[in-house]
Every structure is written in structure tokens, then in C-alpha cells.
Amino acid sequence: MANFDPSSSAYRTGAEHTVRLAVTTGNDVAGYRIIEYLGIVRGIVVRSPNIGQSFVGAFRQLIGGNISEYEVVCEAARHEAYAKMSRHAEIMGAHAIIGMRYDATEFVQGATEVLAYGTAVRLERL
């Protein structure tokens, strides 16, 4: 993710272009019936800001407002976790991921784990 650029208009769709399955926060996929539950899939990423992001971010904390340097780190972590979760489901032979969620935990100061997870399923068209 070294070239991750949130100022790009398409930055949120990067992972979705390589994923060949449906991903939804809902518990079903419209027009399809779930024929098999394959299990939970996940993508885990641990991120921390680089020295430049930390320095500028710390300075911006003094004046308040959105800290875009930290926003870049967070969005990159979610993007990568989503892509890893999707690859996990594809390896299992899933057609979709339902109930998709994100979770984040700071487990040491300055390093945050981002988890993307959901249930991999196989589908049949109605």
C-alpha cells in the first residue's frame, strides 16, 4: 500500500476492482439464495503512522480538526484488511461475504489492528 492516495477519487474502490464476489453488511444477497455457509473469513492488518505522519499529525492535534495524516493510515489499513478478507473468501470458493464488518483495536501505543470480517457463503440465483 505504499502508493495509497486518499485524494484520488477512486481510492475507496481499489480493492473492489480485484474482488470477484459480492460483499455486503446485510445477511442476504438480493436475487440469490444462500445454499452453503462456508465459515468466517477475515483480513487482519496492523498499522502505525510513519515518522512524517506522526510528526505532522502530532502538530495538527495541537490546533484541532481532522488529521488527514492519520486518516490516510486508517483508510489504508481498512482497504488492505478488506482485500485480505476477500482473498480468504475466494480461496474458500465463496460467491459472497455477508455480515461484513470492520473492527479496530489499539494494542500498543501507536499501532492499531484493523480487522475486516464476515461470513463466506455460496449462492444460487432465485
Q: Among 1, 99, 93, which residue's Cα sits nearest to residue 38?
A: 93
3-state helix, strand, coil in the chain (%, to 5): 30, 35, 30
Over residues 55-76, mean pLDDT: 61
Residue 15 lies in a domain: no
Domain assignment present for residue 50? The answer is yes
Show the domain range for 91. Answer: 21-125
Average pLDDT, the chain: 77
Q: Is residue 3 part of a domain?
A: no
- Report residue 46's pLDDT band, with 50, 70 and 90 as the boundaries: confident
Q: Is residue 25 part of a domain?
A: yes
Q: What is the CATH number of the domain that holds 83?
A: 3.30.110.70
Give the count of domains, the chain.
1
pTM score: 0.74
